[in-house]
Structure 1
Amino acid sequence: MTAPTTTAPPSRKGARWIEQWDPEDEGFWKETGWHVARRNLAFSILSEHIGFSIWTLWSVMVLFMGPEYGIDPAGKFFLVSMATLVGAVARVPYTFAVARFGGRNWTIIASSLLLLPTGAAFVVMEPGTSYSTFMLCALLTGVGGGNFASSMTNINGFFPLRRKGWALGLNAGGGNIGVPVVQLVALGVIGAAGGPRVLLGIYLPLIALSALCAALFMDNLAPVRNDTGAAKEAVRDPHTWIMAFLYVGSFGSFIGYSFAFGLVLQTQFGRTPLQAASITFIGPLLGSLIRPVGGSLADRFGGARITLWNFVAMGAATAVIVAASVQESLTLFTSAFIALFVLTGLGNGSTYKMIPGIFQAKALAQGLGGEEAAAYGRRLSGAAMGLIGAVGALGGLGINLAFRQSFQTAGSGTGAFVAFLVFYAACFVVTWAVYLRRPARKAAAPTEATADDGTAERELSYAQV
């Protein structure tokens, strides 16, 4: 027996640690694996769901902050942008924490950490509190954004390759729905004439419940290890950064708009907190629910094709929003914004589907085949996903900073939407040029052409990824 490594100390053996796990074995999966994996998935979704709710908490809290708080719209956008920033950065260490501490153990820790920002906001949420104190509370909520990375990494280890798409899609969608749920809860609180402390008081016991459920019902997988070699290789691969850029356009838009939608309605169109809260949850809800549809369409037609035309549709919806903003048409603005949310959800599914396909194609290019190619693809795509998810979430920071600047200089969000339109055009060009323009002759692919000397020459085509 080999000596344990630093990522798998001897103390790992014990309660709630699973030493042997082989979900690819049909007999093991049917007899034991499926039941254990399903149980862990359920409570992983609960933890990630609460994490998303706390991460986007300040998108709701700013609706409660009237003139008596003395914070202008630019200051409110800066508050929510800082929560976005910390949430994006936290995804990197959270990705590797599962292998270091164990999925169950880290879920307990990550869930418990949510008590800190929620409890702090509960204490200080009143007029007269300094802006720097509110800023600190907003920064602390960013830990909820890291839950996505650790939750996805953990669940990825429990399921066989043939079930990963379903499991990861359900896990991601269940987490994303935490955004509209916290907005719906806020709507109920505002409608009942309750204050922000009522909202926070609802979530404090829910956070404790999610940590308790993780402790009682989840497991750690000993075979899961941090692969620093794969992480370094993924960082060096240009496709990691290209996909991170595209994910900024899809998920970055989703999370950024989730933070900003209600504040834009309140600032630009003079909606009351109740009026804003009654609308803001619709877009994130539909965007979350449709994410698996984007993945399914990508399975059928190719992720690159769906992503390409999705950016066209996002650009069209943004153009309508610009026109509605100029015309000050609330109905048109709201309808187009909700449509844009739906498209971000579709794009989330299709872009994430592209990642394993790209690395699978690269494996074939290197002459690998069968399970060897699949293993290479899983190894590299798993390492790349954490980084791509972190960079993608930074798109939310850019969106909120753009809104802050636009409202500060022009008093409306029109300028920001014009900038977003230009960015979606850039995403379209990159998707077409890199993945759909033509096969590249260097790396590999399932297709082959005959060279002048009669030998088979491989061509790389990403159209089906």
Structure 2
Amino acid sequence: MTAPSTAPPSRGGRWIQQWDPEDETFWKETGEKVARRNLIFSVLSEHIGFSIWTMWSVLVLFMGPEYGLTPADKFLLTSMVTLVGAVVRVPYTFAVAIFGGRNWTIVSAGLLLVPTVAAFAVMEPGTSFNTFLLVGLLAGIGGGNFASSMTNINAFFPLRKKGWALGLNAGGGNIGVPVIQLVALAVIGASAGPRVLLGIYIPFIVVAAVLAALFMDNIENVKNDTGAAKDAAKDAHTWIMSFLYIGTFGSFIGYSFAFGQVLTNQFGRTPLEAAYVTFIGPLLGSLIRPFGGWLADKYGGAKITLYNYVGMGVATAVLIAASMEKSLALFTVAFVVLFVLTGLGNGSTYKMIPGIFQTKALAKGLQGEEAAAYGRRLSGASMGLIGAVGALGGVGINLAFRQSFLSYGSGTGAFVAFLAFYAACFAVTWAVYLRRTAARTQADSTTSEAKPQLSYAEV
């Protein structure tokens, strides 16, 4: 990381040229207040981005027989929306380094008008499936706001606060999922149409963009460091954590899109009956995410993540039993518990990322600000890639449900596949981050390699 330099006059905007959150005096006197302010307005923009990204999870509930779509069509539609949301996370991560966190928040918030207005225009019976698919793909850009927001906020907070800050940032964004589902419940309950739901969000998008322009900042020493993404992509831990994040966030976003459809297709619930319960799981999963980060700060993210996968496996096994017994009450309770565990795991896995790269910095012999700068640089870049791959899990979940309903008429087959995946995530977490290396011989690994392996248990 090069020393901060004066921002080019042509770039304009609010630029912070000296930022060292690891300096406790700086943090107490100046840094904490600025970081919290940026966190608040970053959460707002990301929150609305999540709502727009997941709006098709509720729009499909409005689309009755008169729309001419089969359950498989609807699962395919939500799968493609999830896919675009995952893919755009990569360029959105780069955008923070190119344009600055504040500047890109303004742009990314404003871009949410495109899918919202487009959906408002086409949402009526008689519109072709291909048109719905195209407009749904536009909504995927809302998923990118998460990556840019997390990368930006990661740079503002010291390592000891990252679990809480990243958990709060992500949780505030994730809660956009149940919020739009609650708004949809009110709209359906009032016998209003989907265009009312879309019209509610248009002014909020404008407000989020304006507030970002007024109150957020760019950090100069994050600017133009796009090479960090290349370095992060070469690190094996980026891809290991991506795999684990598929299990937590991929589950959260995939279930958020699919829960209502499973209730209507497998248990015969009406859209209104489904809407009464679909928001509960995403709401609790979002609210608990900061707590997952806090637990990771206190006990170590790897440990919390490991035990969390055990819980997710148990909840999934109960779901399989409830699905086979056709017990709606047990199925709903188990699904909500699974949502809570995905949120907890989201917080703990993301806390692991900066800790892993800080550990690698210390293993390289770096100290003080040099080690902190190395950790911030690679963890910030890797978060975008990890977030993108993790969101692809949502695509897999919706495609798995689609195939399960086509093959078996229920979601049971999909849940069996999810259970196997959670078992694999448990094994990877233990093998890479918690397995003790004391039994290894010197021929198997050098001392320098053993130290960071042992300390990963604390990340």
TM-score interval, smaller chain: over 0.9
Distance 1:20 1:202, change over 3 A: same
1:283 aligns with 2:281: yes
**One-letter amino acid of the counterpart of residue 178, structure 2:** P
The SS at the match of 1:400 is helix
Q: In angstroms, what is the RMSD of aligned CA positions? A: 2.2
**One-letter amino acid of the counterpart of residue 378, structure 2:** L
Which residue pairs with 2:253 in the alignment?
255
Taking the aligned partners of 2:104 and 2:52, their CA distance within structure 1 comes to 17
Q: How much has 1:428 moved relative to structure 2?
A: 1.2
Taking the aligned partners of 1:162 and 1:461, their CA distance within structure 2 comes to 16
Choose 208-217 or 57-66, whichever is displaced more: 208-217
Q: Contact between 2:167 and 2:292, CA under 8 Å: does it hold in 1?
A: no
**One-letter amino acid of the counterpart of residue 236, structure 1:** K
- Structure-2-length-normalised TM-score: 0.93
Q: How much has 1:67 moved relative to structure 2?
A: 0.6
User: In structure 1, which of residues 351, 354, 369 is the aligned counterpart of residue 352 of structure 2?
Assistant: 354
Alpha-carbon displacement from aligned partner over 1:321-368 (angstroms, at most 9, x marks no partner): 011111110000000000000111111111112122222222232233
Which residue pairs with 2:163 in the alignment?
165
1:44 aligns with 2:39: no
**One-letter amino acid of the counterpart of residue 67, structure 1:** P
Q: Contact between 1:74 and 1:404, CA under 8 Å: does it hold in 2?
A: yes
Which residue pairs with 1:274 in the alignment?
272
The SS at the match of 2:410 is coil
Distance 1:112 1:131, change over 3 A: same
Distance 1:78 1:214, change over 3 A: same
Q: How much has 1:220 moved relative to structure 2?
A: 2.5
Which residue pairs with 1:377 in the alignment?
375
Taking the aligned partners of 1:369 and 1:24, their CA distance within structure 2 comes to 12
Q: How much has 1:409 moved relative to structure 2?
A: 1.7
Which residue pairs with 1:90 in the alignment?
88
Q: How much has 1:239 moved relative to structure 2?
A: 1.4
Distance 1:427 1:408, change over 3 A: same
Distance 1:221 1:376, change over 3 A: closer
Taking the aligned partners of 2:96 and 2:38, their CA distance within structure 1 comes to 13
Choose 368-377 or 125-134, whichever is displaced more: 368-377
Which residue pairs with 1:58 in the alignment?
56
Which residue pairs with 1:142 in the alignment?
140
Which residue pairs with 1:223 in the alignment?
221
Paired positions, count = 452
Taking the aligned partners of 1:128 and 1:150, their CA distance within structure 2 comes to 37
Which residue pairs with 2:295 in the alignment?
297
Q: Contact between 2:93 and 2:147, CA under 8 Å: does it hold in 1?
A: yes
Alpha-carbon displacement from aligned partner over 1:369-427 (angstroms, at most 9, x marks no partner): 44433332222222211111110010000000101111112111111111101111111
Unaligned runs of 5+ residues in structure 2 are none
Taking the aligned partners of 2:7 and 2:136, their CA distance within structure 1 comes to 35
Alpha-carbon displacement from aligned partner over 1:9-41 (angstroms, at most 9, x marks no partner): 4412x4433344444455554444433333222
- Structure-1-length-normalised TM-score: 0.92
Alpha-carbon displacement from aligned partner over 1:128-173 (angstroms, at most 9, x marks no partner): 0000110011100000000011111222233344433332222111
**One-letter amino acid of the counterpart of residue 464, structure 1:** E
User: In structure 1, which of residues 193, 196, 204 is the aligned counterpart of residue 194 of structure 2?
Assistant: 196
Which residue pairs with 2:240 in the alignment?
242
Which residue pairs with 1:401 in the alignment?
399
Q: How much has 1:213 moved relative to structure 2?
A: 1.4
Taking the aligned partners of 2:409 and 2:162, their CA distance within structure 1 comes to 46
Distance 1:255 1:78, change over 3 A: same
Choose 427-436 or 69-78, whichever is displaced more: 427-436
The SS at the match of 2:151 is helix
Taking the aligned partners of 1:300 and 1:29, their CA distance within structure 2 comes to 20
Distance 1:272 1:429, change over 3 A: same
Unaligned runs of 5+ residues in structure 1 are 448-457
Q: How much has 1:294 moved relative to structure 2?
A: 1.6
Taking the aligned partners of 2:357 and 2:69, their CA distance within structure 1 comes to 47
Identity among equivalent positions (%) equals 77
- Between Structure 1 and Structure 2, the one with more helix by share is 2
Which residue pairs with 1:99 in the alignment?
97
Taking the aligned partners of 1:446 and 1:234, their CA distance within structure 2 comes to 21
Q: How much has 1:189 moved relative to structure 2?
A: 0.5
The SS at the match of 2:362 is helix
Taking the aligned partners of 1:300 and 1:34, their CA distance within structure 2 comes to 20
Distance 1:330 1:443, change over 3 A: farther
Which residue pairs with 1:464 in the alignment?
458
Q: Contact between 1:287 and 1:345, CA under 8 Å: does it hold in 2?
A: yes
**One-letter amino acid of the counterpart of residue 212, structure 1:** V
Taking the aligned partners of 1:362 and 1:69, their CA distance within structure 2 comes to 54
Choose 429-438 or 324-333, whichever is displaced more: 429-438
Q: How much has 1:91 moved relative to structure 2?
A: 0.6
The SS at the match of 2:222 is coil
Taking the aligned partners of 2:73 and 2:34, their CA distance within structure 1 comes to 46
Taking the aligned partners of 1:382 and 1:103, their CA distance within structure 2 comes to 12
Distance 1:442 1:227, change over 3 A: farther
Taking the aligned partners of 1:385 and 1:41, their CA distance within structure 2 comes to 17
Which residue pairs with 2:32 in the alignment?
34
1:123 aligns with 2:121: yes
1:389 aligns with 2:396: no
1:11 aligns with 2:10: yes
Taking the aligned partners of 2:268 and 2:35, their CA distance within structure 1 comes to 48
Q: How much has 1:459 moved relative to structure 2?
A: 6.2
